[in-house]
Structure 1
């Protein structure tokens, strides 16, 4: 079974991967799992309390298909967990690796954005990470998928969902309908 693991941290932005995980679990019948630092429960920016399935340290790259980093303010602080080895391992094993909003910072710190097209909340959000991918930055309001790396600004949870599903080979007319359904409010009236 296709398995997605989403990394959540204290204060995570609960709206950023909600559609993705709901669509994965309910519509596509994929396995959705959640990991946190130390396996501790976390509370989102909106007050949602989550009891994770596992600790970040327990993630088995061989048993998953996608590793996703949910955004939150922690990624721009010294308290951010270091995911470098985990993200590099997932990418090296040809797994989908994604980051949305400030979760993209973790991918930049791991060096995963140095040679692929990507986006983020803005190019100014990445330089303090040792980031070397400025030539590949795309100023886009939508998610960017390149070589199984998915990045998106925090305002793009719908296209992030679509790009992750596409990276997993799930791009169909059904997905296009689903994306249109959730993006309808952004179309001109």
Structure 2
């Protein structure tokens, strides 16, 4: 069974990974798990409190097919958990890594975005991290997948969900139809 782990921090952005986890779990029977720093409950930017049975510090990437990092203001704060070793280990083990919105800050700090095409919340958004991947940045509303890493800006949860599902080998006609329904509300085609 495919298993994904989503990392949530205090102030996580509710909308960014909710669709991915709901579609993966409800429609594709993917096992979804969640980890938080210290295993403590965290409250989202929208006020939703989530309790986790998993402690971020005890996560072993070998147990998962994908490690997903939800964005939120915590990633730019001095109190942000250092997940660089976890992300580097996941990358070394060939696990899919998903970074959306401010989670791209954690990816840049971990050196994951130095050698792959990627996106975030806007051109120059990651420059303060001192990362070496500026030339590989793509200014797009779509998700960007390269080298087992999926990135997206905070306004692209549908594209992020679709790219992660594709990266897991789960994209099919049903997923295309679902993404098309979301695109249609904006008069766009998928």
TM-score normalised to structure 1 length: 0.97
Partner of 1:97: 97
Partner of 1:8: 8
Deviation by residue 1:96-155 (Cα, 9 ceiling, x = unmatched): 001101011111000000010000001322122231101100001111011110000000
Post-superposition, which runs of at least 4 consecutive aligned residues in structure 1 deviate over 3 A?
A: none
Number of paired residues?
189
Unaligned runs of 5+ in 2: none
CA RMSD of aligned residues (A): 1.2
Partner of 1:69: 69
1:184 aligns with 2:184: yes
- Which is worse superposed, 1-10 or 175-184? 175-184
Partner of 2:37: 37
Partner of 1:144: 144
Separation in structure 1 between the aligned mates of residue 96 and residue 130 of structure 2, nearest angstrom:
22
- Which is worse superposed, 54-63 or 108-117? 54-63
- Which is worse superposed, 162-171 or 177-186? 177-186
Structural mapping, 1:116-127, within 5 Å: 116-127=116-127
Structural mapping, 1:18-57, within 5 Å: 18-57=18-57
- Which is worse superposed, 53-62 or 153-162? 53-62
**SS of match in other structure, 1:16:** helix
Unaligned runs of 5+ in 1: none
Separation in structure 2 between the aligned mates of residue 56 and residue 186 of structure 1, nearest angstrom:
37
**SS of match in other structure, 1:68:** strand
Partner of 1:115: 115
Separation in structure 1 between the aligned mates of residue 187 and residue 99 of structure 2, nearest angstrom:
25
